Structure 1
Amino acid sequence: MRRPRPRALPKHGRAVVVTGASGGVGRATALAFAARGDRVALLARGREGLAAAADDVQRAGGEALAVPVDMADAKAVEDAAQQVADTFGHIDIWVNNAFAGILAPFTEISPDEFRRVTEVAYLGYVFGTRAALRHMLPRDRGTVVQVGSALAYRGIPLQSAYCGAKHAIQGFNESLRCELLHRGSGVRTTMVQLPAVNTPQFDWVLNRLPGRARPVAPVYQPEVAARAIVHAAGHGRRREYWVGSSTAATLIANAVAPGVLDRYLARTAFEAQQDGGVAEAPMGAGNLWTPADGPHGRDFGAHGRFDEESRQGGPQQWLSRNRTRLGRTVALGAGALAARRLTRLARR
């Protein structure tokens, strides 16, 4: 016997957890939830960034709880989730977004470095999801949002560790989604596949390229990603959202002609991930082993150095959010045309 459908989450004042919330997409997402009046728990390692993010959340109209935690530490993540539940009473939404990465050829990445990226960018999502489900399943309600990337389907050169993590998240999330559907659970999980985003990560990522690291154009502002994540959190029945026309184009091209895309990226993606400047290494290993703001006492915020070229959105976001409605409209239109044609044929 199927369980009754759980009542919808309240539109405002929800208890939300955002990992990787001290900067970039996580920071923008926390502010987007705060603007709705939600209570937002901010999870990240960097205390300077967390403190600044908490202030921003409060000014945006939300309630903030800053929890320093390394997402690669499963026990620490469980403890952080319990702290959130003790403070807010429960957890309605959990957004997995924590990041670590390396820009380098695979042969120039050490085993320990590769393992560390995997622990943060993949296992951090696994541990976060597990902690969220511990609090959501007994209530039979809640949504877990996995922040992904076009790279969850299409690997590119120089980011083997990160691409591997995103591919792993995709498979893990699909497996979990099937299990939740099988048990008739009211808990939802969905994934948001992002394009290149203008975040500070390109100034703190471990970079072994001759030029300064940059995202592959076109680049979108982090608020575009944040809006999609907030929407996905309120519509968890959808299995996946694509953000940006470049994400859609990449995933379609990879499905149709992956071998051609291999050769295209081999020719273009090395230069596309570097700008004209000489690579700088002000933070050594970047944020791989320690938070980027730790020894520097600096808040990086949500935006990187690519504001002038970054896009604020586009029609693809509307199409992604309204895919079901659009599909029904197209189907009705096609049905009407077919019926009219059949009527004309019957009269002959």
Structure 2
Amino acid sequence: MATVRGCHMVGSVPLADTETVFRTCISGMPNRLKRIPDGETGPRNYFVYFQSLLWPKAIQPEIELNVLPKARDFSEEEYVEGLRLLEATELKTGYDDAAIASYEVFRRLKKDGVLPRDMRFLVCMTTLGNVVGAYVERAFQPRAEKMYEAALFQALRNIQDRIPPGELAIQLDMSVEMLYWEGKWAEPWWSDRSYMVDYLSRMANQVDKDVEFGLHFCYGDMEHKHVAEPESLQGVADFANSILDKCGRPASFLHCPVALSAIDRLDDYFRPLETLVPRLRRDGTELYLGLVHAGDMECTRRMVEAASKVAPEFGVATECGWGRTPADHLESIMEISTAVSEPFPEYTSKETSGA
């Protein structure tokens, strides 16, 4: 059996505010978190939906949950007007403002001994595909991409200028990109997957070298349903290797989902990790598998056992963030996560636990 050590929180948590998230999760998963997010509470609780508010309505597609958007045809006059509205838009993502405000709570709770002094604050950042690919009509995506990338890079710079690097971890959330990679989303604004690898690598390299950098792969989580069910982790393994090859820096951690739909074919589902795990071990990258399913300890244990055949060491997580999870499921998630994992040894002493 593999060494199963530690837990990872992907991002969102259905609680009232940042301090409640910190206090609830550090006590619910004692000595098992190296990093903790602010829970993306308030207007950020539905992943990147709040980013849809940045764009002019005239260039946005009709959104229907778990349905691929269809590109509209625009007349020349509509296109010119849409482009004018887009060019006049001042894009400020808000990720920096939220992170800087939440860090102040994080810093205070560290000072008070609630959080371990070596813990990092995890900032989860969207990528181009999640927003431009979902909330901008195909005709305007090439221009929107450049504008939004600049806004994301500025937010990253602001975050890193205000939060000490030794206390910061930045995670890139790739949901629509994962669907693009496997050809399960609408036609993108680029023609070759290498284009996507290039822009993700550019973003990864905006993270300073002394700040932790991680990757989160996902297949969407709308109404507790994937946009597309993964057949295996082949896509994740191939995509992750491509990004890491291109960006030329190791990741501190990597998270990928383990779908409930894979329960009867777990060996096949996990086998592609054989092409990724050696790299992660060489680079010291922590692997977190999203195999914790609320209310189902047996399922989780079966997944842990199967994953152990290809990964000698990993931590656990849920498939995606908890934002749309019923609040009464949180206790089960934290109990299962704790039960199937070991604590980090550096946090087990009373001196450093913050408990």
Structure number with larger C-alpha Rg: 1
Q: Which has the higher strand share?
A: 1
Normalised by the length of structure 2, the TM-score is 0.36
Normalised by the length of structure 1, the TM-score is 0.37
